[in-house]
């Protein structure tokens, strides 16, 4: 026996009828408004077939609102909508930006970033179009086709939502440390899958073993690498990296367990093994589907605080607590700060002290 349709089109009333009997009247002859809650359990193939009956399968759009009452005139529209045309149901993400002058420029800039994300979602980019009625800011409509298999419309919506988050975080042709942090904090970590690690981003699939001296030294070194660098950085605990030709990419999310002591344990390990304490170091928990991530955000540090020293080192697999290690980030790897560089820093500081340009207590 065939399953009951999750949504149908009533030609007499010119409305969509949901599985619970509620009706969604058309905004006009070829447009409808759904509540976000309507999408849960709604099969993409059912919505496609319903829209196909509207105006004999011509172009039909579906807008979405979060408002409690679906009001065709006053409800605020979300930046994600759906469209039926060419026998397919597509999701459309809207982006407000004056950064691109033409559709060709917008497509060239946004396609590489979106394609990485969409491949992981079993989706493809169809086109990037300019809304002809937008003036300032310009509205770009990114149309995507998502595989309906094993998904409801709420899943399709979330793919579009992730695309919007990624596009809004996109600056100057690449993700930045600040916008990547915004994505992680807002629960959009999945859009980073397929993106490269780099000079300011490092991921780790499991917690550091902070019950052992080696684990405490390892987390202190991870923070020191970015503190000693030029741009700061982010350490994400709960994401897995994978080596590829030319570097390393983020391959998956593997949430880690957290409790009320997690952040303090990380903070204590860093305080015990890293000197001086980095300015404005943030250690926080970020939500992901199925659990949490631990984020360590290291802003760029004042040059006069460098180098940051780690108490302890791992030599030939053994913990040497009396040693001091100094490391910094370069690309996807870490390099030690050389003896000449350390000597030059100390010599410069002593010279300033001799000339009275630095207070003695510094």
User: How large a percentage of the chain has pLDDT more than 70?
Assistant: 86
**Each residue of 5-28: pLDDT tens digit?**
999 999 999 999 999 999 998 877
Q: Kindly report whether the global pTM for this prediction surpasses the value 0.85.
A: no
Instruction: Give residue 332's pLDDT band: very low, low, confident or very high (50, 70, 90).
Output: very low
Domain positions in the chain: 7-175, 196-334
Instruction: Give residue 211's pLDDT band: very low, low, confident or very high (50, 70, 90).
Output: very high
**Each residue of 36-91: pLDDT tens digit?**
999 999 999 999 999 999 987 789 999 999 887 777 667 788 999 999 988 899 99
Contact yes or no for 81/59 (Cβ under 8 A): no
Pairwise CA distance, residues 275 & 227, whole Å: 11
Pairwise CA distance, residues 338 & 204, whole Å: 26
Q: What is the fold of 196-334?
A: 3.30.950
What pLDDT, on the 0 to 100 scale, is given for residue 175?
77
With b meaning 16 or more CB within 10 Å and e meaning fewer, what string describes 122-156? ebebbebeeeeeeeeebbbbbbbbbebeebbbeeb
Residue 330, by phi and psi: left (phi above 0), alpha (psi -120 to 50) or beta?
Answer: beta
**Each residue of 102-158: pLDDT tens digit?**
999 989 888 887 888 898 889 999 999 999 988 888 999 999 999 999 999 999 999
Pairwise CA distance, residues 296 & 308, whole Å: 16
- Find the mean pLDDT for residues 254-279: 95
Pairwise CA distance, residues 298 & 277, whole Å: 11
Q: Among the residues of the chain, which ranges form H helices?
A: 44-52, 103-120, 153-169, 177-185, 213-227, 262-273, 339-354
Residue of 219, 239, 238, 252 whose CA lies nearest to 327: 219
What pLDDT, on the 0 to 100 scale, is given for residue 333?
43
What pLDDT, on the 0 to 100 scale, is given for residue 183?
87
**Mean pLDDT of the chain, nearest integer:** 86
What pLDDT, on the 0 to 100 scale, is given for residue 341?
60
Is the model's pLDDT at 339 over the cut of 70?
A: no
What pLDDT, on the 0 to 100 scale, is given for residue 75?
79
How many CB atoms lie under 10 A from the CB of residue 50? Answer: 23
What pLDDT, on the 0 to 100 scale, is given for residue 177?
87
With b meaning 16 or more CB within 10 Å and e meaning fewer, what string describes 215-226? ebbbbbbbbbbb
What pLDDT, on the 0 to 100 scale, is given for residue 331?
46
What pLDDT, on the 0 to 100 scale, is given for residue 357?
61
Polymer length of the chain: 362
Q: Which among 28-37, 153-162, 332-341, 352-361 has the top mean pLDDT? A: 153-162
Long-range (24+ apart) CB contacts under 8 A made by 156-159 are: 156/39, 156/44, 156/82, 156/91, 157/36, 157/39, 157/64, 157/80, 157/91, 159/91, 159/118, 159/121, 159/123
Instruction: Give residue 330's pLDDT band: very low, low, confident or very high (50, 70, 90).
Output: low
């Amino acid at each position: 026996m065939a399953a009951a349709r999750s949504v149908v089109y009533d030609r007499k009333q010119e409305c969509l009828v949901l599985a619970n009997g509620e009706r969604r009247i058309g905004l006009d002859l070829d447009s409808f408004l759904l509540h976000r809650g309507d999408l849960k359990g709604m099969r993409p193939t059912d919505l496609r077939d319903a829209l196909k009956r509207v105006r004999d399968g011509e172009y039909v759009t579906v807008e979405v609102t979060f408002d409690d009452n679906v009001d065709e005139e006053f409800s605020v529209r979300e930046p994600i909508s759906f469209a039926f045309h060419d026998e397919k149901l597509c999701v459309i993400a809207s982006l407000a930006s004056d950064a691109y002058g033409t559709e060709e420029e917008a497509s060239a800039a946004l396609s590489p970033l979106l394609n990485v994300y969409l491949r992981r979602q079993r989706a493809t980019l169809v086109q990037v179009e300019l809304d002809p009625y937008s003036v300032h800011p310009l509205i770009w409509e990114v149309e995507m086709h998502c595989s309906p298999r094993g998904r409801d419309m709420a899943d399709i919506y979330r793919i579009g939502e992730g695309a919007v988050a990624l596009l809004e975080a996109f600056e100057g042709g690449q993700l930045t440390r600040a916008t990547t942090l915004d994505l992680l904090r807002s629960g959009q970590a999945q859009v980073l899958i397929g993106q490269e690690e780099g000079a300011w981003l490092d991921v780790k699939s499991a917690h550091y073993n902070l019950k052992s001296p080696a684990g405490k030294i390892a987390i202190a070194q991870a923070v020191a690498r970015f503190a000693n660098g030029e741009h700061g950085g982010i350490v994400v605990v709960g994401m897995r990296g994978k080596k590829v030709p030319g570097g390393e990419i983020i391959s998956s999310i593997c949430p880690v367990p957290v409790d009320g002591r997690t952040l303090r344990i990380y903070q204590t390990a860093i305080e015990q093994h890293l000197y001086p304490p980095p300015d404005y170091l943030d250690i926080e928990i970020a939500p992901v589907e199925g659990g949490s991530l631990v984020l360590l955000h290291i802003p760029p540090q004042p040059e006069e605080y460098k180098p940051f020293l780690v108490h302890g080192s791992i030599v030939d697999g053994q913990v040497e607590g009396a040693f001091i290690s100094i490391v910094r980030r370069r690309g996807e790897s870490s390099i030690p700060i050389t003896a000449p560089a350390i000597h030059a820093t100390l010599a410069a500081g002593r010279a300033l002290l001799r000339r009275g340009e630095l207070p003695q207590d510094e």
